[in-house]
Structure 1
Amino acid sequence: MVTQSDVRRVCLALPGVVERRSWNQPAWFAKTLMARMWDEGVLTVKTREREALAGTDPATYFWTPHHERSPQLVLVRLSRLDDGELAELLEESFLLAGGRMRAPGR
């Protein structure tokens, strides 16, 4: 199980990511929004696999009518993730939000 503190740690370890409030919740931005706490224990991230994730594991991945117009956004229950899954989700979201990984040695 991961926590909001784990989300913060992983997000801020990515190059250029900053934290600020969005809709009165902690949020992390690359060029655009990459992740935001939606509710207690629920994180919003960007993904290319929303339908597949929610289809195979709806207890972990879901969305609300509010997210219908944004097909890259998915809600994730943090209590159902491990550190590796969290890192993978946040790295994809970072790239979709316009983040760029630094070249090795820079």
Structure 2
Amino acid sequence: MPELVDRVREICLAFPGVTEKLSHGTPLWSARKGFVQIWPDGHHDNDFPHLWCAAPPGAQESLIARDPRRYFRPPYVGHRGWVGMRLDAEPDWDDVEELCELAYRTVTPAARG
């Protein structure tokens, strides 16, 4: 799914100070701390393309309650409030961009204002 990766890469690299590296074989975008990771071929039991995104307190629960078919608690980072977003249906790219921006602002204090 290179088009998914390219689209998320474009969104994330538009934020100031963001770098990209491979982590566990998939792209991770960081601004001093990781804030978005994409799993284009799925990961463990989530065998569909998806994102893991940093989120502020309460956001994970709110998003999952709003749409449990699209959002989920990802393994490894879900206990820290990160949220997963499915990308296997036609993604709403406005929602993807908003979630990536929320993730960026979560790990970048200067961007919160």
- The bucket for the TM-score relative to the shorter chain is 0.7 to 0.9
Residues 30-76 of structure 1 show CA distances to partners (whole Å, capped at 9, x for unaligned) of 11001012352211001231001111201110024534421x21111
Structure 2, unpaired ranges of 5+: 42-48
Q: What TM-score comes out, normalization by structure 1 length?
A: 0.81
Give 1:4 deviation, angstroms.
Answer: 2.0
**Relative CO higher for 1 or 2, CA cutoff 8 Å, sep ≥ 6?**
1
In the superposition, the TM-score normalised over structure 2's length comes to 0.76
Structure 1 spans left out of the alignment, 5+ residues = 102-106
| Matches for 1:82-93 after TM superposition, within 5 Å | 82-93=92-103
Secondary structure at the aligned position of 1:69 is classed as: helix
Query: What is the one-letter code of the residue matched to 2:69?
Result: A
Q: Percentage identity across aligned positions?
A: 29
Does the C-alpha gap of structure 1 residues 13 and 39 become closer, same or farther in structure 2, counting only changes over 3 Å?
same
Contact 2:52 2:74 in 1 (8 A): no
Q: How many residues align?
A: 99
Aligned to 2:46: none
Q: CA deviation at 1:100?
A: 4.0
Contact in 2 for aligned 1:17/1:28 (Cα 8 Å): yes
1:76 corresponding residue in structure 2: 85
2:26, 2:10 → 1: CA distance? 16
